[in-house]
Chains A and B, each alone.
Chain A
Amino acid sequence: MIKIGIPRALFYFRYGEFWQHFFRNLGYEIVVSPSTNKQILEQGLKYVSSEICLPVKIICGHIEVLKNQVDAIFLPRFVELNHGLYTCPKMIGIVDIAQIQVGNACEILSPKIKDNFMLAHFQTGLKLTGNPIKVIKALNRAIPYLSHHKKLSNSEDHKQRILLLSHFYNLWDDFIGKDIINSFQSCGFDIATKEDLPDKVLKSDKGFAKNIRWVYERELYNAFQYYSDKVAGICNIISFGCGPDSLIGEIMSKQANEYKTPFLQLIIDEHTSKTGINTRIEAFSEIINRNYQSKPYLTK
């Protein structure tokens, strides 16, 4: 029986559940790599140029973990998700990096996704099984697991809520997001994320969002607009070297300034120290709390 590996990185945090169900429904054994840890990251660092963003370095580590224990790694090439909305060059190119990295150790299953998500999955299934009916059934049964909605808190108290704005592959990767989420929670805040919001909001093309052609940047921007007057502050987590984030992050930071919403940008890479992140989060939290109390420090 063929064993299929799925790296617990990048798109896994959006489609992981769906993929596991889909391949299991087809009768394959699935191996998902463990949560990112320092060792996985270090393995990834060997394969990519230092200029590349942290999540890509991380996925290379996961591929390294999987390559000798599976027959094939499932790693679709995400190019265009909705009509006219694209991912970034690194996401598109990751398959080629992986190809070189695994060599002959295993196969890479990488359907190209260009505004044809379901069809591309169908074709992959068909290639594997040769049985269209089986594939359609497997897909249908997996569809309910496509939902990527998560909620960390149900609180509606604006003063107690922070929006953590980041790509799903940063925020939900334990190695990157967990510490940041924990730090804010230990400062007494509830956490809102873009995964709280329905697709209708995230995919909206109203206003400035229609100019944004990066699919996930548009989601971030829409979440920013939706939440800007419903949270006490916004923390934008950016991976160092992320081109799209550097543009949209800048735009959001300027608009947050106009809306008078406190805005903190955290730039992360593999060298990021926990102390540095905590200093920024603590200071940001305290500034927000003091502002709500409108309580200056000691005065003369």
Chain B
Amino acid sequence: MEAYLGIDVGSISTKGVVLSKDYKVIASAYHRTQGKPVEAIKGLLKELQNQSNHTKIIGAGTTGSARRLAGVMLGADIVKNEIIAHAVASSYYYPDVRTIIEVGGQDSKIIILRDGIPIDFAMNNVCAAGTGSFLEHQATRLGIPIEEFGKYALNAKFGVTIAGRCTVFAESDMVHKAQMGITTEDIIRGLCDAIVRNYLNTVAKGKDIKPLILFQGGVAANIGVKTAFERALEQQVVIPENFLVMGAIGAAMLAQEYINDSKITKFAGFETANTKFITKAFECKDCPNSCEVIETFRQDQIIDRYGDRCGKWSEEVK
């Protein structure tokens, strides 16, 4: 069977799917990036290969903040930013979607669509308050598995107010509220509300949030945040079936659009998982800009170089 591969390498997690020609998810995998994107991508490829026997990849796409690295490793046909990837996947499964709320490990975004076309978007600037890594940190601190975290919010009696503008203040506020004797459930619900408030005030400010509203990305697994969004927006919020891997699905779809049944894929094969890749960085001392140049090697051979403002290092490899 012929299929497409999509990989989404984010700051916290690495996601991948194998998508059939009629957009069915044949295989999907989710790995922690753990600061080692190369290893995460390899692990992901192995898992996807195991799940999708007898498929032939005829197109590959990458997205996410490490899309470029993933792209050169895999020999991706298309490397696209995550805004477009999410918009493409969501508008296919939900043609009526007009708002996408995406909250990931370290960034959050809103995408506004009309008639299936993304018309506007925003991403968090400067501050990552209220994203997945903060929630995870709080879950660990309270000794609650992250998977259970959202359920605690549902058992809350009332919503206590937590300062959500900044994670440092939020944490001290939570500690303070706990010392006052407020239950963990109520505090967690307060935290979910604070995250939503922060998102609506900083990321989604001024955007016209109309139904259908989709909520995706890692934090969508948190039922507490979902209900907090519904409370704040006074509307239903839908979590797509494949909410974790929507970016990867979008990347696979974009690969299919690009290949268009005519081009031959550059995909290096699942064997890439067994290939040696090394990334190195050095600071160029040739001018006072001191650019950090990043290099990627496959089997000791250089395949990509970027990061220099003047282009003299990167052009050498092209």
Main secondary structure of the interface of A (DSSP, over half): helix
Query: Roughly how many angstroms separate A297 CA and B23 CA in the complex, as a whole number?
Result: 13
Residue ID in chain B nearest A39 by CB atoms: B288
By a CB distance below 8 angstroms, the chain A residues around B92 are 297-300
Say if the beta carbon of B83 comes within 8 Å of chain A.
yes
B250 to chain A, nearest CB (A): 9
Say if the beta carbon of A40 comes within 8 Å of chain B.
yes
A85 to chain B, nearest CB (A): 28
Verify B88–A297 contact, CB threshold 8 A.
Answer: yes
Verify B119–A283 contact, CB threshold 8 A.
Answer: no
A225 to chain B, nearest CB (A): 19
In the complex, number of A-B residue pairs with CB atoms less than 8 Å apart: 87
Query: Roughly how many angstroms separate A276 CA and B125 CA in the complex, as a whole number?
Result: 9
A126 to chain B, nearest CB (A): 37
Tell me which of B29-37, B110-118, B138-146, B193-201 binds A.
B110-118
By a CB distance below 8 angstroms, the chain B residues around A295 are 117
Verify A37–B288 contact, CB threshold 8 A.
Answer: yes
The residue that A253 contacts in the complex, of B81, B115, B119, B206, with Cβ under 8 A, is B206
> How many chain-A residues does the 8 Å CB contact rule pick out?
37
Verify A297–B91 contact, CB threshold 8 A.
Answer: yes
Known: A39-B288, A297-B88, A298-B92. A287 touches B118 (CB 8 A): yes
Verify A287–B116 contact, CB threshold 8 A.
Answer: no
Say if the beta carbon of A296 comes within 8 Å of chain B.
yes
The residue that A290 contacts in the complex, of B118, B120, B288, with Cβ under 8 A, is B118
| Residues 17-65 of B contacting A (Cβ, < 8 Å) | 23, 65
By a CB distance below 8 angstroms, the chain A residues around B118 are 283, 287, 290
Say if the beta carbon of B239 comes within 8 Å of chain A.
no
Verify B257–A297 contact, CB threshold 8 A.
Answer: yes
Say if the beta carbon of A286 comes within 8 Å of chain B.
yes
By a CB distance below 8 angstroms, the chain B residues around A290 are 117-118
B108 to chain A, nearest CB (A): 13
The residue that B84 contacts in the complex, of A38, A179, A283, with Cβ under 8 A, is A283
Say if the beta carbon of B156 comes within 8 Å of chain A.
no
Which residues of A does B touch, CB under 8 Å?
34, 37-40, 178-179, 240, 250, 253-254, 257, 262-263, 267, 269, 271, 274-276, 278-280, 282-284, 286-287, 290-291, 294-300
A-B pairs with beta carbons under 8 Å apart, 20 shown: A34-B288, A37-B287, A178-B309, A179-B309, A240-B125, A263-B120, A276-B123, A279-B65, A280-B123, A287-B83, A287-B119, A287-B121, A290-B117, A296-B115, A297-B116, A297-B257, A298-B23, A298-B253, A298-B257, A300-B92
Contacts A267-B126, A298-B253 known; list 20 others, CB within 8 Å.
A37-B287, A37-B290, A38-B290, A257-B208, A262-B119, A271-B126, A275-B65, A278-B81, A279-B65, A279-B83, A282-B84, A283-B84, A286-B84, A287-B119, A290-B117, A295-B117, A296-B117, A298-B23, A299-B92, A299-B95
